Amino acid sequence: MRGMIVAAQPEAAETGAEILRRGGNAIDAAIACAFSQGVVDPLMCGIGGFGSMQIFMPKGGIHAVLEFLARAPLAAKADMWADRFAGQTRDGFAFLLSDHANERGHLAAGTPGSIKGYADALARFGTMDLEDVMAPAIRQARTGFMIRPYVHYYWTIDQRATGQLNTQDKLSLSDAGRRLYFHPDGSLKRPGDIVVNVDLARTLERIASAGPDIFYTGEIAEEIAADMATAGGLITTKDLAAYRVREKEPIWGEYRGFRIAGNPPASGGASLIELLHILQEFDVSRLEHNSVEHIRILAEAMKWMTIDKDAHIGDPDFVNVPLDRLLSADHAAEYAARIRHGERAHVPRSAFGNEPPDTTVACVMDREGNAVTITHSLGSSSGAIAAGLGFMYNGVMSGFDPRPGRAASIAPGKARGSAMAPTIVFEGEAPMIAIGAPGGTFIVPAIAQALSNVIDFKMSMAEAVAAPRIVCLSDTIDVSNRVRHSVTDALEGMGYAVARSYQSYAFGAPHGVKVEGDGWSGGADPQRDGMAIGV
């Protein structure tokens, strides 16, 4: 076999697999897949978005995290929305304003990083040129993609309980959105309908031909800035020209003797490692999976992780993150002792419900020993589409705290804290698992449970990502509908608040590739319609 790719969209997975089949390496496949994902799942990611990836290439001695998070516009101010703060979603992902200015339209957008991130990774670590890996996405945009069940589900989620706007309302904000995503009679397109985006195909062709600079300092940058100025957005040519990808060293943790390589702040790797370190203090493998005690330990560990995340995790260019303490064994042991003694952590949240997950992932391993995992997103899609360009801007500004003086507060050029956690697990010096998940603040709990399922409960990768999950990012334990009622009844009898999801596959959507002898196995969470393909 040449390699294996797993992605949350079958068309995108197929694109990456074809690159592997043609002799491309894992990085070529991941970037081709990422461009495709922006076409076939346009509210999950795209060239108006941002992300993070982790790359390991043993033959070149390369192990790097490329961070291409969206950044607050340089004209943004810490107190620009302080008088309109209305609350926060229960999972802590989004901050709510009375007039929704941070989630709808051009003002919701931060400076996008995806094009720079994709192009930098390909130029430095890939073997194919930009035009070659972008060609499948250009074809897909021009010929169209079929709306899949999860795509339609996301478009039609009723978000009023979260205090946010419905996605369908944001889809109809622009003339381009109404043409792309609605029928002539005004009804939203449904599963099986085709979305053709010729404007996006042309934009991708321009980027493929001219390179990424056209988006940041060239003609497309000028078009974006003009569109922003007309519509009241804050992004200017200065923002775009100043954008840089950050290359960082992975941060490290350990779980049951396996080495965990994560991405550093402002992303979610520190939170993931902290959570795994707390769980490591318990002999989880002796517990029945999703039993009362298993869920109690998971829930309390997640709450302590969340308390630390809210207090400390942010863009390290602006926030002093006490990374050594958060990742220390002593810190994890202290929290584990509290859990063992029955102490219950308290995570203050507003009464609003959970934020829907709007992010996507791809993971690839190849026969050269290369491993790459990429998580990329629009944050919470803004609904704003520049006329003639075809792509939607991110809605990253809803992730900044409108109250000044906090770790997540707004600052010019600041990256919003992100739960993205593209992760590589090592057995000794060799990568064993490449894993990632979409799902906002659900990402870290989802990946932690998937890894525990493989390592503690000896599940296959496919079983591990599909097993019922829980999250506890407030004082309520949220459970998948496949967690037994007898278990949740017992938890409620202990005084826990429990909320049961109607979804069978809830709370993030981990996707992973695992080394198996001379080959690989893969798992795509069934929530997202994706698949794993070995070549």
Give catalytic residues, as residue numbers.
359
Judged by DSSP in three states, 436 sits in: strand
Tokens of 150: 């999860």
502 and 527 in contact (C-beta within 8 Å)? no
Nearest to 381 by CA among 38, 49, 7, 34: 49
- Which residue's entry shows tokens 């290359």? 247
DSSP 178-233: HHHHB-TTSPBP-TT-EE--HHHHHHHHHHHHH-THHHHTSHHHHHHHHHHHHHT-
For the chain, the straight-line distance linking the first and the last C-alpha, in angstroms and rounded, comes to 5
Which value, to the nearest 10 degrees, does the dihedral of the CA atoms of residues 474, 291, 469, 86 take?
A: -10
Nearest to 128 by CA among 263, 9, 23: 23
Pairwise CA distance, residues 15 & 304, whole Å: 40
DSSP 57-121: EGGGTEEEEEEE--B--TT--TTTTGGGEEEEBTTS--EEETT-TTTSSGGG--B--HHHHHHHH
Buried b (16+ CB within 10 A) or exposed e, 461-498: bbebbbbbbbbbbbbbbbbbeebeeebbebbeeeebeb
Tokens of 262: 């994560």
